[in-house]
A = this chain, B = another copy of it.
């Protein structure tokens, strides 16, 4: 269908603009917490109960292991995370949240999951429709790692 093609295209361009309108809020988040995007990502992806091995974090951040070392160094210096030995494999270090880190993580989570202005301003009906459409889209996506936010559900 010609019309549907155009609808998809226009929806995409509009979404692009809307996302862009959110740029400032995101920058605000980073400067407020004094954490760069990778650091925020790590804080949210660490398993808050058992901690996470660094190689798993590198995977989920899609970055090199050496960079994770650097991120963890900084977060550890700020007493947000702690390196812990893994008893059954002493090559591995588990990154665990400190109590302060857990606090920050909760604050981050609350902020990140808060819908940006362009969604918050929608009518209740539009929000629900949007959610339904995205639920469907999330299902039939090729989806490599679509469950990356599993730990955000807690």
Name the segment of A46-54, A74-82, A91-99, A125-133 touching the other chain: A125-133
A23 interfacial by beta-carbon distance below 8 Å: yes
* B residues near A124, Cβ cutoff 8 Å: 1, 3-4, 7
A130 touching B133, Cβ below 8 Å: yes
A19 interfacial by beta-carbon distance below 8 Å: yes
Counted per complex, copies of this chain come to 2
Could you tell me the distance between the alpha carbons of A8 and B125 in the complex, rounded to whole angstroms?
10
B121 touching A137, Cβ below 8 Å: yes
Q: What does the 1/0 interface line of A82-109 toward B look like (CB < 8 Å)? A: 0000000000000000000000000000
A9 interfacial by beta-carbon distance below 8 Å: yes
B144 touching A133, Cβ below 8 Å: no
Closest residue of chain B to A135, judged by CB? B14
